[in-house]
Chains A and B, each alone.
Chain A
């Protein structure tokens, strides 16, 4: 009797593993089959010559170049906020904070990490409403607003990875700063941060991946279907994930649908590279301390 139950469990484990693998393979396979053929110059630049498009001399109408650039800007601008703030917070929580401060600020970080992205988008939207009613009647959703909200969304990743990477440094290494006569800050800058750098980097990359894939936040904070190249921080913009979302519902021709698949492939390539890099870095970082 027992043996049968055990068998069933083993069978179920294999089945689950198989099903998930199958689902992932189907997902990627389906994307490849439908989208691979459409990945070419015209996917990115439409009818425009690529040199003109890249240098911004001519607008791109059909292609995803503006969306790609929009996503890139979004990731860069949000990283500009989230990386320094996140690393600084991680350092503070790991190296300076007293136990109580660490617990209470850590709780805030956890809450921020748990905030759904649509709520973060709603926050940005509400912020604009508030600004319109009070200080700036002409305020509107924009790249800057979206980047700010995305930065808040990914901030917890950077904070937590920085904090754990620092806290994972063993005592016998930590003590070397004082032994060499370094002050607390000098030890952080010259020993602890370099030693933890790989872990921190993985957090940063993870955050960039999240920033590139998130759709719900930008949906409410300034993404539009036709904006052309991002023209400035205070303008609306296009982005890859939104374009995919948009094409799923609004495609009119077969060609547009194929473009949707191809765009998905491009985005998938982008994010999965980022995530797998972060994963590898993390693993290498952990292995390194197992040796000690």
Chain B
């Protein structure tokens, strides 16, 4: 051997390999978890496929005592409430981003940023709780919307919940495209609002899309707001003032009351639908992100 190695080093590199393996195992936990979630949900949905009750679950009526276990109303409810919340929150969130980014005086911008971060820290259940005693009576008395526990009530609260998410995601995007562009457009003599309209919005179109999708995902995945505020009647969202039930609330409600196995199965079907939906959203965002990266890469060259 040309070079006297202290034997400690051999041992150490063995230790290093061992630790690398441990780290790999730790990382694999996330992958194992996600796969077992999928498998377990699928396993409990399996009877639906084998016994042909699939059509039963994906039907339009939920009346467990009359033997109907359809979750389509819940699917529709989830989509309706999420779209409505997105519709309410998105313009405001984007406006706030531009406000913080280029329109606001510095102290206001800093304050608003901190406020948005503070809002991400408010537990969902507190949004729900306050709305039950603040917004619901308003809806009931002013709009005379039945009990006040309606699609609109829940969507308004939900929009408040997803707004910080949209702001933070979009803000991060804005900061990434910022330096050269703002300088260039300022050199062209644009006022801040002209910058926003002609430079920032076109340059961040993809970011807008990503923020909207993430906000939508957050809304779909939320349980507490719809559970506490939407009234939980299993019906289609035919107007803003009906009470509806979402997939997430459905899971919580059915499992809270012990019921028959068929109702259980509808719960796992709902879980699987939610899981796949989120998976699709994830894929979509990755696709967009990749296209985005390729574009900037080309620009670099």
Taking a contact as CB atoms closer than 8 A, the residue among A123, A125, A248 that contacts B132 in the complex is A248
For residue A91, give the distance in angstroms from its CB to the closest CB of chain B.
Answer: 6
Q: Is the CB of B223 within 8 A of A245?
A: no
Chain A residues with CB under 8 A of B197:
6, 9
Chain B contact residue count (CB 8 A cutoff): 83
Chain A residues with CB under 8 A of B31:
105, 108
Q: Is the CB of B193 within 8 A of A6?
A: yes
Bound CA span A123–B267, Å = 11
Q: Mark B104-121, 1 if CB is under 8 A from A, else 0.
A: 100010001011111111
Q: Is the CB of A114 within 8 A of B123?
A: no
B256 sits at the interface (CB 8 A): yes
B236 sits at the interface (CB 8 A): no
A118 sits at the interface (CB 8 A): yes
Q: Is the CB of A88 within 8 A of B99?
A: no
Bound CA span A170–B42, Å = 44
Chain A residues with CB under 8 A of B228:
245, 248-249
Q: Is the interface of B mostly helix, strand, loop or mixed?
A: helix
Given contacts A10-B103, A155-B30, A271-B123, contact A31 B41 (CB under 8 A): no
A274 sits at the interface (CB 8 A): yes
Within 8 A of A (CB), among B1-56: 12-13, 15-16, 19-20, 22-24, 26-31, 33-34, 36-37, 40-41, 43-44
B205 sits at the interface (CB 8 A): no
Given contacts A116-B221, A118-B248, contact A88 B123 (CB under 8 A): no
B96 sits at the interface (CB 8 A): yes
Q: Which residue of A lies closest to B40 (CB)?
A: A126
Chain A contact residue count (CB 8 A cutoff): 83
18 A-B residue pairs with Cβ-Cβ distance under 8 Å, sorted by A, are: A6-B193, A10-B103, A14-B103, A16-B93, A89-B29, A92-B23, A107-B286, A111-B278, A115-B221, A115-B275, A119-B221, A119-B271, A122-B251, A122-B268, A184-B16, A213-B124, A220-B252, A279-B117
A-side residues, CB < 8 A to B, are 6, 9-10, 12-17, 19-21, 23-24, 26-27, 30-31, 34, 84-85, 88-89, 91-93, 96-97, 105, 107-112, 114-123, 125-127, 129-130, 152, 155-156, 159, 183-185, 209, 212-213, 215-216, 219-220, 241-242, 244-245, 247-249, 257, 260-261, 264, 267-268, 271-272, 274-276, 279
